[in-house]
Structure 1
Amino acid sequence: MAGPEQSQQQQQQQKVEEKAEHIDDAEMALQGINMLLNNGFKESDELFKRYRTHSPLMSFGASFVSFLNAMMTFEEEKMQMACDDLRTTEKLCESDSAGVLETIRNKIKKSMDSQMSGVAVVDRLQRQIIVADCQVYLAVLSFVKQELSAYIKGGWILRKAWKMYNKCHSDISQLQGTCQRRPSGNHDSLSADNANHNVENGVTAEALDRLKGSVSFGYGLFHLCISMVPPHLLKIINLLGFPGDRLQGLSSLMYASESKDMKAPLATLALLWYHTVVLPFFALEGSDTHAGLLEAKAILQRKSVVYPNSSLFMFFKGRVQRLECHINSALACFHDALELASDQREIQHVCLYEIGWCSMIELNFEDAFRAFERLKNESRWSQCYYAYLTGVCQGASGDLDGANGVFKDVQKLFKRKNNQIEQFAVKRADRLRKVSPTRQLCILGVIEVLYLWKALQNCSSTKLQIMNQVLQSLDEPSCRGLKHLLLGSILKCQGNIRDAVQSFQLAVRDEYGRQINSYIQPYAVYELGCILLAKAETVAKGRSFLLQAKEDFTGYDFENRLHVRIHSALASLKEVVPQ
């Protein structure tokens, strides 16, 4: 006979089961993601784990949190756990047995039989989208291994995912069209040939809108990311059947961000990432770093009520401030985000990274040094790169002995042999160590990374003038080409186009420096091309310079990065159709 305690436990379990039967998993999943973005990572994880067996959607939520945790830490154990979780969710969605019946039973209990087929279609489409999502995340985890076999496997997985996204997007769009054409009060069945189902009243416009939002996230990201692939890889990617329509990608992400699907907040973050990080970095709309900022500010304004204390949204607010050259305001935002993310180490790291960069922009080398040193010691992403930034900032602040010690560590921390950023850091650190670093050379190193990461545009006129003076006083023959490239960029930011052109021309002619800094000439030719594009009478000449930068040079640092910028500049002429 069951005792009172056992009976009480059974009653509690029964209550949980009754509650689980009545929950709206789509609404709960959205709440879980919102909880995560409002700094409730632990609470979100617990919520999804508690209900992960209730439905494929909640299972996916749990797997997504696991994936996010793995991507933020890069710890092997967590990455394996994420793979296992994603495969479990995938199997649940692909099964036609108990899982399907349980989900449908929970959703349509007490519903009319005529509604069952509609709910079944919604469930089927939802499962297909989740499977595609799982495959994308599994591909990302595969790419992180940075092995040839992993790239091949990841590419094949992505191809399968894209086909599913495309099919689901088409099916849902057809269902929406049929639903919109149906007269009010008409109870005839809906149909979609591609869906291969007869859909009764059970499919509501609201359900279709949510599903469209769900598929639009992955569908839009595919379009957006492929549109940014270096041109010389586009042919291979197009052969795999991937598209690359940037406008379609942005439109789909915007649709997803305004939907009631659990991925709506993620679509919002993707849009903020595009407008505040990708667009200015790759100069996708030309050289105007303020492109997209109005859109980013509008998004932040709309979402401020939902995410009043989100460290991630505070981070993007800081990005906007930085791009508007309000560096002190940006620093305040990043410090606030750092404090809000007290329990989220990886979000703290992206905030520290921005604090380091803003400090470099302000030529506050001590604060930059402290931020990058902490990243070097704590981050698992690229200690080699952070060590180099630590060294140049430390040397620029005057601590040359300390900087020299850090430069020696860069080689030891060089792990990703095929990573162009780490290759660059190792070469630069090795050279500075061999010539014995001076404060001027370290400041040159700071200005160089500000240029390569397109941050000179964020510097005030006062700081640009200080950089100009430092470069003018530099008389190291091996750095002459780099000096002129950086001077040209600074003069361009200051509006002195005539002198900027002269500096870029000097950089192009520096054959001696080319042996050490192989990227100088192609970048200088590109800069000349961009200046010439600005005037109608020199557009043709500017275009020829861009083509020269693209075709006459190879094997230099950050080649892919420049190719993306060249492709964008050419596309802006409307002589090349944007991909």
Structure 2
Amino acid sequence: MDLQTSIDETGIALKLFLNNKFSDAKERMEPHSLKSMYPALGYSTILYLQAVMTFDMNDIESAIKIIKRSVAVCNTYRRKTTVMGSFRKTLTRVSYNDLTEDEIHAELCYAECLLLRALLTFIQDENLISFVKGGLKIRECYKIYKECNKILKSRKWTDEQHRIHFESGVKMGVGAFNLMISLLPGKVMKLLEFVGFSGNKQLGLAELENGSKMTTSLRGPLCSIVLVAYHTVVTYVLGLGDGDIELASEVLKSCLVKYPKGALFLFFAGRIQEVKGNIDEAVSKFEESIDSQSEWRQFHHLCFWELMWCHCFKSDWLLAMKYAEKLCHESRWSKATYTYQKASFLLMCDDQSEDTKAHVTYLYGAVPNLKQKIAGKSLPFEKFAVGKTLRYTEQNDYLTLPAFELIYVWNGFNIIGQKMHLIDPILTIIEQTINEIQTNKDKYLYFYDDYSLALLLKGVCLFHRKQYFQANQCFTEVISYEKNIKHDFYLVPYAIVEMARICLNQDEIAETKALLEKTKKNYKGYQLESRLHFRIHAIKLQIHSRDDTTSQPCTPSTENLPSFDNST
């Protein structure tokens, strides 16, 4: 199969995939994946997506086997360099015009396959060697993208369509790498910069946006997916909910014109409505996404997760619990998390009969046995959930506002805060709980933990109501109880960062920086620490964006990819 046919066939398979015809796409790619680079890449990508969605070890091992084979297929098309050739290359300027179009596209496909292989390495095995292997593959992939970027700029192109396909691939790789690395907290960034990585958020977003506009290219739709996912999901899960929703809506609109029933695009349409606070409209879109296909149940799980939160935001605890139950039965990602959520939502229901209480106790009791390890590490939230279930038992079967605590740690208040009709009922329940705790202080085994949690949640609600003075009072009181808190040590550093957000909104930049530094310097080893570091990093990015002299998270290179020093 020649290069153009290879690209065309993969393009057809991509359209099938985005139109929910997953098996058809897979079957179209499989016969050619043994010998042709683009079908090999396409087939590997489908198996990769299937593996990460099911989290089934058989699927993961099968995907790794196919991706290894695809890496070998792509490698056969790459320019073979001898030892002497490599030596001459370091002494003379490389002429990229000497490379054939097959060879340059092979570099790009090789990098993409290598990245898929590396990402699966992280979840395949639990030992440190797997992490080292995965890291080395990503490092090699990063170097190849840099080289591809040089090819794009330096080469004289004879086929314009081949250049467009190549350019969209470079933009996707460069954009995704820069964006991904720029999101990481400072401590991780320093380590990555030491081994040659750096990330530039603005550059990453610009590259992906330009790539998404290349509508005739093979990777144009993929650039759109990454860009929309960043603005509608990543910024809300890891940051402050400061994604560009208008841009995401515009990019998604053109995708829905081409793929009106595409399950993934309907999911993002629901997500856009959700982050705007239009919960009923979001529910409708997520249900439409579920109804659009039944071939890959894994896509349904994405919608179940969002539907669970949508009903949670509306304080419809019974429906939220039912979606957590669906996930618990069908998804392999984290049964401990789903079970803890299910119990916490059930605990908030008005019906607190003896049967309901017994079922809640049973569910919380099951959580510790469901905890798992991924890549040798326990999931931070699972450890958090196990700690809470032990508290539930120790406190004679009660927890304080567990569902609202879940909304907070999963950054849901950034969504609820968009609409006062969502935040006000929650604030009322929190204030009633605070009065209950104060009135019956002696009944609470860990009074300061429970009272501080309720105060933190009240402060967050007041922050989103723009009642900054009252919110600040809540956070200050939480901090004052630092020495009295026995278990929930995360409350104090989180309260300090919430105070920093108030300062940021009032343009008190020096005070914002001081509070962030205080949090990083004085607090270590508390629950959900890494989540808070992502929020701290997101605040710092906002500070940088307000200052023209430090508008970038790191120094941009003269090329479209940060420099990579081979000597490290």
- Paired residues for 1:391-406 under 5 Å: 391-397=343-349, 398=351, 399-406=356-363
Post-superposition Cα deviations, 1:28-53, rounded to whole Å, max 9, x if no partner, equal 21221121121111110011013324
DSSP-derived class of the 1:545 partner: helix
1:479 to 422, 427, 450: 450
Greater Cα shift, 356-365 or 143-152: 143-152
- Paired residues for 1:436-451 under 5 Å: 436-438=396-398, 441=399, 444-451=401-408
Q: Is the 8 A contact 1:479 1:513 kept in 2?
A: no
Q: Is the 8 A contact 2:171 2:210 kept in 1?
A: yes
- In the alignment, which residue of structure 1 is the partner of 2:528? 558
Where does the alignment leave 5 or more consecutive residues of structure 2 unmatched? 81-95, 438-443, 555-568
Looking at CA atoms only, which structure, 1 or 2, has the larger radius of gyration?
1
- In the alignment, which residue of structure 2 is the partner of 1:9? none
Amino acid at match of 2:131: Y
DSSP-derived class of the 1:238 partner: helix
How many Å separate the matches in 1 of 2:198 and 2:274?
A: 32
Q: Is the 8 A contact 2:221 2:255 kept in 1?
A: no
Q: In the TM superposition, what is the alpha-carbon distance from 1:467 to its structure 2 partner?
A: 2.1
Greater Cα shift, 411-420 or 158-167: 411-420
- In the alignment, which residue of structure 2 is the partner of 1:168? 148
- Paired residues for 1:24-103 under 5 Å: 24-53=5-34, 55-95=36-76
Where does the alignment leave 5 or more consecutive residues of structure 1 unmatched? 1-19, 100-116, 180-202
- In the alignment, which residue of structure 2 is the partner of 1:281? 237
Change (3 A) 1:377 1:251: same
Q: In the TM superposition, what is the alpha-carbon distance from 1:97 to its structure 2 partner?
A: 10
How many Å separate the matches in 2 of 1:98 and 1:564?
A: 41
TM-score, L = length of structure 2: 0.85
Q: Is the 8 A contact 1:216 1:252 kept in 2?
A: yes
Q: Does 2:381 correspond to 1:421?
A: yes
1:230 to 167, 185, 199: 185
Post-superposition Cα deviations, 1:150-177, rounded to whole Å, max 9, x if no partner, equal 11111111101100111011111222xx
DSSP-derived class of the 1:243 partner: coil
Structure number with the bigger relative contact order (C-alpha 8 A, sep ≥ 6) is 2
1:363 to 315, 322, 339: 315
DSSP-derived class of the 1:77 partner: helix
1:262 to 218, 231, 243: 218
Q: Is the 8 A contact 1:290 1:324 kept in 2?
A: no
- In the alignment, which residue of structure 1 is the partner of 2:393? 433
How many Å separate the matches in 2 of 1:524 and 1:534?
A: 16
Change (3 A) 1:548 1:23: closer
Q: Is the 8 A contact 1:227 1:245 kept in 2?
A: yes
Q: In the TM superposition, what is the alpha-carbon distance from 1:147 to its structure 2 partner?
A: 2.9
Post-superposition Cα deviations, 1:515-570, rounded to whole Å, max 9, x if no partner, equal 3111111111111111122224x332232112111211111122222222222323
Aligned-residue identity in percent: 25
Q: Is the 8 A contact 1:279 1:292 kept in 2?
A: no
Greater Cα shift, 323-332 or 30-39: 30-39
1:327 to 274, 279, 294: 279
Amino acid at match of 2:213: E
- In the alignment, which residue of structure 2 is the partner of 1:184? none
Change (3 A) 1:54 1:143: closer
Q: In the TM superposition, what is the alpha-carbon distance from 1:218 to its structure 2 partner?
A: 1.9
Q: Is the 8 A contact 2:78 2:106 kept in 1?
A: no
Amino acid at match of 1:374: K
Q: Is the 8 A contact 1:93 1:130 kept in 2?
A: yes
Q: Does 2:105 correspond to 1:126?
A: yes
DSSP-derived class of the 2:488 partner: coil
TM-score, L = length of structure 1: 0.84
How many Å separate the matches in 2 of 1:26 and 1:465?
A: 53
How many Å separate the matches in 2 of 1:137 and 1:250?
A: 21
How many Å separate the matches in 1 of 2:478 and 2:2?
A: 70
Q: Is the 8 A contact 1:481 1:513 kept in 2?
A: no
DSSP-derived class of the 1:24 partner: helix
Change (3 A) 1:463 1:172: closer
- Paired residues for 1:366-385 under 5 Å: 366-385=318-337
1:571 to 522, 541, 547: 541
- Paired residues for 1:495-514 under 5 Å: 495-511=466-482, 514=485
Greater Cα shift, 559-568 or 492-501: 559-568
How many Å separate the matches in 1 of 2:428 and 2:256?
A: 43
- In the alignment, which residue of structure 1 is the partner of 2:136? 156
Q: Does 2:270 correspond to 1:318?
A: yes
Q: In the TM superposition, what is the alpha-carbon distance from 1:219 to its structure 2 partner?
A: 2.0
How many Å separate the matches in 2 of 1:355 and 1:516?
A: 31
Amino acid at match of 2:29: F
Change (3 A) 1:119 1:207: farther
DSSP-derived class of the 2:257 partner: coil
How many Å separate the matches in 1 of 2:230 and 2:201?
A: 11
Q: In the TM superposition, what is the alpha-carbon distance from 1:432 to its structure 2 partner?
A: 1.7
Q: In the TM superposition, what is the alpha-carbon distance from 1:54 to its structure 2 partner?
A: 5.3
DSSP-derived class of the 1:242 partner: coil
- In the alignment, which residue of structure 2 is the partner of 1:462? 421
Q: Is the 8 A contact 2:19 2:262 kept in 1?
A: yes
- In the alignment, which residue of structure 2 is the partner of 1:516? 487
2:162 to 197, 201, 207: 207
Q: In the TM superposition, what is the alpha-carbon distance from 1:290 to its structure 2 partner?
A: 5.4
Q: Is the 8 A contact 1:387 1:410 kept in 2?
A: yes
DSSP-derived class of the 1:511 partner: coil
Q: Is the 8 A contact 2:176 2:204 kept in 1?
A: yes
Amino acid at match of 1:228: L
2:364 to 407, 410, 431: 407
Root-mean-square deviation (Å): 2.2
Aligned residues between the structures: 510
How many Å separate the matches in 2 of 1:353 and 1:337?
A: 13
Amino acid at match of 2:107: Q
Q: In the TM superposition, what is the alpha-carbon distance from 1:59 to its structure 2 partner?
A: 1.6
Post-superposition Cα deviations, 1:441-495, rounded to whole Å, max 9, x if no partner, equal 46x1111111122212322423423222322232041311111111100111122
DSSP-derived class of the 2:170 partner: helix
- In the alignment, which residue of structure 2 is the partner of 1:239? 194
How many Å separate the matches in 2 of 1:87 and 1:310?
A: 29
Q: In the TM superposition, what is the alpha-carbon distance from 1:22 to its structure 2 partner?
A: 10
Amino acid at match of 1:89: S
Q: Is the 8 A contact 2:479 2:492 kept in 1?
A: yes
How many Å separate the matches in 2 of 1:97 and 1:28?
A: 20
How many Å separate the matches in 1 of 2:205 and 2:280?
A: 31
- In the alignment, which residue of structure 1 is the partner of 2:250? 298
2:207 to 252, 265, 269: 252
DSSP-derived class of the 1:572 partner: helix
Q: In the TM superposition, what is the alpha-carbon distance from 1:96 to its structure 2 partner?
A: 5.6
- In the alignment, which residue of structure 2 is the partner of 1:528? 499
Q: Is the 8 A contact 2:6 2:37 kept in 1?
A: no
Change (3 A) 1:305 1:119: farther
Greater Cα shift, 229-238 or 471-480: 471-480
Amino acid at match of 1:238: E
DSSP-derived class of the 1:514 partner: coil
How many Å separate the matches in 1 of 2:202 and 2:465?
A: 32
